Chain A
Amino acid sequence: MSKQVIFNLPVKDLEKSKAFFASLGFGFNPKFSNERATNVVIADGISAMLTTEDFFRSLIDKPVVQAKEANEVIICLMCETRDEVAGLVEKAVAAGGRAPHPLEDHGFMVTQGFEDLDGHLWNLVWMAPQD
């Protein structure tokens, strides 16, 4: 089986977060979802686990970061087209997220990020095919 990554992120309101990521077009894997966690499918082998703060806290022996105040991680996803970058950020903002920076267009590369409802940072990048 190929390598899989799941990144667990704490969220304050699981239902609102599900609605947020659904409006961005992501699907969910019900097999790994329950009332404490929802598995968001990013790509084959790559998923996010949105976890209630209580459940997340039970997994660690340190405080849970309030991501609107400080960040430990930036999740960077590659997009297939230039338009997908701006399109996803637009949907995120419409769904209650925030775009901390304007779109950067370097010609061969386009990038912009958004913050989700809890302040977790997502960065979207399109790069021109190299060949």
Chain B
Amino acid sequence: MNKQIFVNLPVKDLDKSKAFFSALGYGFNPQFTNESAACMVIAEGSIYAMLLTEAFFKTFVDKPIVQAKEATEVLLCLSCESRDEVDSMVAKAIAAGGRTPRAPQDHGFMYGHAFEDLDGHIWELVWMAPQQA
């Protein structure tokens, strides 16, 4: 298995979602971005999210698309370099129209918080003390 993953998520408005994740500091790979999909770089060479219009997402599945504001199939958890990065990402997400489903969790050696993007997909952010990770 190669060390690359693409997490494909349906979005209602591709331009608004691109603006949302741009506001969080993410860039996009133009080679895999068009009017139906945007390839968001989470970690170059390893972790990407593909934001797909619902119509395009639908071509890959033979079941209905979940409305993620109403129900959840996945929690995407990303590691952060610091507690401040966790807080600042959540603050940026809320400022850009997202929501946070709960208060931060502080276990001392581990600090986590979460946000929902414009479509209701849940992103978890976790910092762990280096010796724990």
Q: Which residues of A contact B (CB under 8 A)?
A: 1-10, 42-46, 49, 56, 59-65, 67-80, 84, 100-101, 113, 119-121, 123, 125
Point out the residues of chain B lying under 8 angstroms from A101, CB to CB: 62
Task: Give 16 CB contacts A-B under 8 Å.
Answer: A1-B130, A1-B133, A3-B43, A4-B133, A8-B74, A9-B74, A45-B47, A56-B75, A63-B71, A64-B71, A69-B64, A72-B74, A75-B7, A76-B7, A79-B2, A120-B73
Q: By the criterion CB–CB under 8 Å, are B75 and A7 in contact? A: yes
B10: chain A residues within 8 A (beta carbon): 72
B25 at the interface (CB under 8 A from A): no
Q: With contacts A1-B133, A4-B78 known, is A72 near B5, CB below 8 A?
A: no
Q: Which residues of B contact A62 (CB under 8 A)?
A: 69-72, 120
**Closest CB in chain A relative to B38 CB, distance in Å:** 15
Additional A-B contacts beyond A46-B5, A63-B72 (5; CB < 8 A): A7-B74, A8-B77, A46-B3, A72-B9, A79-B1
